[in-house]
Amino acid sequence: MTKLSVNINKFATLRNSRGGNNPDVVKAAVDAQKFGADGVTVHPRPDERHIRYQDVRDIKKIITTEFNIEGNCSEQKFIDLVLEVQPHQVTLVPDAEGQLTSDHGWDTLRHRDYLKEMISVFQKAGIRTSIFVDPVEAMVKGAAETGTDRIELYTEGYARHFADNKEIAIAAYVSASKTANELGLGINAGHDLDLNNLAYFAQHIPGLLEVSIGHALIADALYLGYENTIQLYKRQLK
């Protein structure tokens, strides 16, 4: 079954809006695992506007499932943090400084040499690498040339068009995933996946290993409860 990694950034956003430690981000990670999540994802940004670098260190101490750290490897501070914390996986995302949220994948052809160099740094430390890519066959092929272990398909386009025509919405992702499978790349996915579109996506993407979901899951948890919501998302992946 495809694994569910819960992105807990939104807990940190809420905490930071008021100060103090409520909600407790480390407890959010502990509870995600207790409630059935297969992993925890964090995305520390340079301005620490949600997840702080110390949060990442604190979560590492209590993690019992998979730990995935997302971020932009152009920041030396991020590289140093990942090498210090030693997560199971690092997901490289081409965010600009101050970017609201991730909104595109890597141009793996243009940045191939750079990505190859950065991926080597993390792999030598024993950390599995994944890189954020759009569902474009050329970008998937370029990703394979970087030496990455996995790709993470950027699914905002799928989510945006799902209600209009789900067959058309998923077509590029199916094609990209088939290419990834042929090239021996593991497949992750994330961005705007929710209870409405997740099951269809998981059923049609061959070899889908993991989805990372934060915003929609935490929004649902406000109404449905954290534990119940995690279980509802897990059911979509069966």
Q: Which residues are catalytic?
A: 43, 70, 191
CA pair distance 40, 220, nearest whole angstrom: 17
CA pair distance 122, 105, nearest whole angstrom: 19
Phi first, then psi: give them for residue 95, nearest 5 degrees: -80, 145
Please, where are the H alpha helices in the chain?
9-18, 25-34, 53-62, 76-85, 112-124, 137-146, 156-161, 166-182, 198-204, 215-224, 226-236
The tokens of 11 are what?
């807990």
Enumerate helices (H) and strands (E) in the chain, giving the number of each: 11, 8
- Exposed e or buried b for every residue in 162-182, given b needs 16+ CB within 10 A? beeeeeebbebbeebbebbee
Looking at the chain, how many residues does it have? 238
